[in-house]
Amino acid sequence: MKTITVRYFAGFREYAGLGEETLQLDVVTAMDVFNETRERHGSTEPTGHCKVAINDEMADWTAKVNDGDTVLLFPPVAGG
């Protein structure tokens, strides 16, 4: 098990009802974290246009997460 802090933004934050939570998760990749939290909060958002960052660095969904990491989950962006 790893201790992972997950931060939610925009629609994800509203869906989860919180901006951040620290969880004990049995995960390997950023995608695993997303799937775990999706299950937890009942979100059906596909990963297609979503992005992820680990410890304030943009990351791939296949990137490994380590104990103590902060994973930032970004719903589809819409700047401009």
**Where along the sequence are the contacts to another protein (CB under 8 A)?**
9-11, 49, 51, 53, 56, 58, 72, 74-80
Nearer to another protein, 1 or 79 (CB): 79
Strands 57-59 and 51-54: antiparallel
- Which residue spans within 1-80 are E strands per DSSP? 2-8, 20-25, 51-54, 57-59, 70-74
Least gap, CB of 39 to another protein (angstroms): 21
Nearer to another protein, 53 or 63 (CB): 53
Nearer to another protein, 20 or 28 (CB): 20
Least gap, CB of 16 to another protein (angstroms): 14
Return the biggest CA–CA distance within the chain.
Answer: 40
